Structure 1
């Protein structure tokens, strides 16, 4: 995702350890280490993009949101206080807020750029069914209430733990559990009657 990095051009390029913490990398970037910025981008930008793509269903908009979120990270880097929160939690929150802004501008939802499956081992029929599943899930997600959509994406697609989701969304863990449960029921209701067509098994 080279075009999403938006790295400042006036910092020095140095090597940084791949196993460094997010906090350490952000601190190194704030001190002028371009290598740290690139390592942190490689680590975090794909997560932003994944959430934005699920929220928006449009690749161009998801890329724009990811770039904007990373730019905000670079701008706040000098002010970051280690230990006050996880950088990934902060970035997820920014990404969600940016997606909500885009959604509110673009109603009704746009679903014209859902990525195709990449498994080359699938048969033509299997590829069509997989594409139909992704389209159906994206459409169903877009019909959920905003907070349920966010909770379901973070829990069941990004596979984040409930306490981290609570931090991202600014709510209690119990509220996350409630939103996720209601979101799953909502998805099941929206997709009801299409299990055979999409190849889903009943839970």
Structure 2
């Protein structure tokens, strides 16, 4: 028996223009949409724009939503992915900024030295993600950051589970290589300069 879609009732309430339903949908979906878009695009402002466009699609669709083909959450992820792809295609001519920033989700603040170390690691991971081909980045983000199963991620990407696993394997290899290269570059930058011989 198929599990019922937990968003159906909420969509109906949004379709009936209930303000509380809109607030509930935003609190339910916004953090994941922002995380997905920011990791795919590497730009907090663009991620907010994509999330806003995704919510506009929800408002337009809510009154007419019919369950059956896909769960609402799957449809919403697909909409967000498509909006991210549109932006990535538009920026192919312009290089990605070296200073890639991710949206920070509110957490208890760590100590300053821990935050500095975490920021460095986040920047390295963001740069490594940005260096991946689009489909590999999408596979990694869906599985590791959005915590979707292989079946769910493959369905969203419209590929087989085997193809997803292949993408993930290549993406992990590329991430390891990129992170190793950036660690090596940091190590070399910290070495004292060689003294000249006389």
Q: Report the TM-score, using the length of structure 1 for normalisation.
A: 0.79
Q: Does 1:121 align with 2:121?
A: no
Runs of 4+ residues over 6 Å off in structure 1: none
Q: Note the C-alpha offset of 1:115.
A: 4.5
Task: Report the secondary structure of 2:63's partner residue.
Answer: helix
Partner secondary structure for residue 160 of structure 1:
coil
SS at match of 1:79: coil
User: In structure 2, what is the equivalent of residue 87 of structure 1?
Assistant: 72
Say if 1:94 and 1:32 are closer, same or farther in 2 by CA, change over 3 A: same
Deviations 1:75-130 (Å, cap 9, x if unpaired)? 12233211321111111111111112112223312344334696533342x32221
Match of 2:149 among 152, 161, 167: 161
Q: Give how far 1:195 is off.
A: 5.0
Unaligned segments of structure 1, at least 5 residues: 1-19, 199-203
Is the aligned partner of 1:105 residue 2:93? Answer: no
State the structure with more CA Rg: 2
Distance 2:104 2:19 in 1: 34
Match of 2:42 among 46, 57, 74: 57
- Superposed, 1:34-45 pairs within 5 Å as 34-45=19-30
2:33 counterpart residue number = 48
Which residue number in structure 1 is paired with residue 167 of structure 2? 179
Q: Deviations 1:144-168 (Å, cap 9, x if unpaired)?
A: 1111100000101121111111221
State whether structure 2 residue 124 is matched by structure 1 residue 136: yes
Shifted more, 178-187 versus 100-109: the winner is 100-109
Q: Is the 8 A contact 2:37 2:80 kept in 1?
A: yes
Determine which structure has greater relative contact order: mean sequence separation of CA pairs < 8 Å that are 6+ residues apart, divided by chain length.
2
- Counterpart of 1:5 in structure 2 is none
- Post-superposition shift, 1:179? 1.1
Kept in 2: contact 1:56–1:109 (CA 8 A): no
1: distance between equivalents of 2:100 and 2:178? 19
Q: Distance in 2 between matches of 1:150 and 1:47?
A: 14
1:188 aligns with 2:176: yes
State the match for 2:194 in structure 1.
none
For residue 117 of structure 2, give the secondary structure of its aligned residue in structure 1: helix
Tell me the matched-pair count: 178
Task: Report the 3-state secondary structure (helix = DSSP H, G, I; strand = E; otherwise coil) of the residue aligned with 2:67.
Answer: coil
Determine helix, strand or coil for the equivalent of 2:169: helix
Distance (Å, rounded) in 1 between the aligned partners of 2:21 and 2:155: 25
